[in-house]
């Protein structure tokens, strides 16, 4: 009697050879277990009468800077811009989803459209549902625009369905590097409500530059959008200006080397 039940009814190795697992290769359903082509930081900052949001135009394939003309800011219904960090194929899926949502909403016939707050609620529920099915959309999104009362709105949603809102937000590497810089100009909602467009855009551009210096998965070409009640001003082919590299030719060796 063999007392190991897992062997009962199985062919014996010494008679038939080791069991061949090859035919079992069509295993469990494949979900996004890890991101492949990725976008890095998205930055956004509220100001007096709107929100500025920016993201560079790079889609990396691991450490390879694979696609250098990928637009990661998406307009929605004249009042909202969504910025995508993380997996690019999942970003493109969400883009199609938002297209069909936009079309569905247009069937209503009323002039009423989804505002930034509505869109953020929608997207965060999509993200939470997908994580609960163990099939996440591997992104962190920033939703920038105006809420139902026409006030500046900025909020985040990520692959786990976590949501939060703040006067300034940054995803990925930007959360470490840009967020401290942005908090200097907009420490709280009151401070953000005093910022002008120029100040806000300047702070975002400065942060994008710091990220290009320090983030190995970033690019000096970027998109930037300003959302106000007058509409969306989206520029998709900006180039970082006034970089500081002149100090570098003074640096020699790693310690005692003179020339």
Regarding 253 and contact with other proteins (CB under 8 A), the answer is no
What mask, x for binding other proteins by CB under 8 A, covers residues 3 to 22?
Answer: -x-xx--xxxxx-x-xx-x-
* Contacting range for other proteins; rule: CB under 8 A; set: 70-78, 93-101, 169-177, 210-218: 169-177
Strand partners of residue 152: 146
Furthest CA-CA distance within the chain:
84
Q: Which H/E stretch holds residue 256? A: none
By CB under 8 A, name the one of 61, 92, 176, 214 that touches other proteins.
Answer: 176
Cβ nearer to other proteins, comparing 34 with 111: 34
Among 165, 191, 220, 234, binds other proteins (CB under 8 A): 165
- Asked if 161 touches other proteins (CB under 8 A), the answer is yes
Name which position in 60, 139, 179, 228 contacts other proteins (CB under 8 A): 179
Nearest to 171 by CA among 71, 58, 55: 55
Residue that is written with structure tokens 């060796």 in the block: 253
252: Cβ contacts below 8 Å, ≥ 6 apart = 258, 259
Q: Which of residues 28-47 bind other proteins (CB under 8 A)?
A: 28, 30-34
Radius of gyration of the chain (CA): 24
Strand-strand pairing, 42-47 and 168-170:
antiparallel
> Is residue 245 left, alpha or beta, with left meaning phi > 0 and alpha meaning psi from -120 to 50?
alpha
Smallest distance from other proteins to CB 41, Å: 13
Question: Which one-letter DSSP state was computed for residue 77?
Answer: T
Identify whether 121 is a catalytic site residue. Answer: no
- Window of 53-61, 89-97, 162-170, 199-207 that interacts with other proteins by CB under 8 A: 162-170
- In degrees, rounded to 5, the angle at the alpha carbon of residue 43 between the alpha carbons of residues 221 and 84 is 80
Q: Is residue 2 close enough to count as binding other proteins by CB under 8 A?
A: yes
Residues of this chain that bind other proteins (CB under 8 A): 2, 4, 6-7, 10-14, 16, 18-19, 21, 24, 27-28, 30-34, 128, 131-132, 134, 136, 156, 160-166, 169, 175-176, 179, 188
């Amino acid at each position: 009697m063999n007392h190991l039940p897992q062997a009962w009814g199985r062919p014996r190795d010494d008679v038939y050879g080791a069991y061949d697992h090859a035919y079992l290769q069509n295993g469990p359903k494949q979900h996004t277990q890890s991101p492949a082509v990725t976008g890095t930081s998205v930055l956004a900052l509220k100001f007096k009468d709107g929100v500025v949001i920016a993201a560079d135009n790079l889609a990396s394939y691991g450490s390879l800077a694979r696609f250098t003309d990928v637009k990661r800011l998406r307009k929605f219904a004249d009042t909202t811009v969504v910025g995508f960090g993380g997996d690019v194929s999942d970003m493109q899926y969400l883009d199609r989803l938002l297209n069909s949502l936009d079309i569905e909403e247009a069937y209503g016939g009323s002039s009423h459209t989804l505002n930034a707050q509505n869109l953020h609620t929608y997207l965060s529920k999509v993200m939470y549902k997908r994580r609960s099915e163990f099939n996440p959309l591997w992104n962190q999104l920033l939703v920038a625009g105006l809420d139902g009362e026409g006030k500046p709105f900025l909020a985040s949603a990520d692959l786990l369905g976590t949501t939060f809102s703040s006067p300034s937000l940054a995803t990925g590497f930007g959360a470490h590097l840009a967020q401290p810089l942005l908090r200097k100009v907009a420490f709280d909602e009151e401070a953000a409500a005093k910022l002008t467009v120029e100040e806000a855009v300047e702070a975002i551009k400065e942060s994008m530059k710091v990220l290009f210096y320090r983030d190995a998965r970033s690019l000096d070409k970027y998109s930037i959008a300003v959302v106000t009640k007058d509409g969306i001003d989206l520029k998709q082919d900006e180039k970082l200006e006034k970089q500081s590299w002149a100090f570098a030719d003074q640096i020699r060796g790693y310690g005692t080397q003179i020339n």
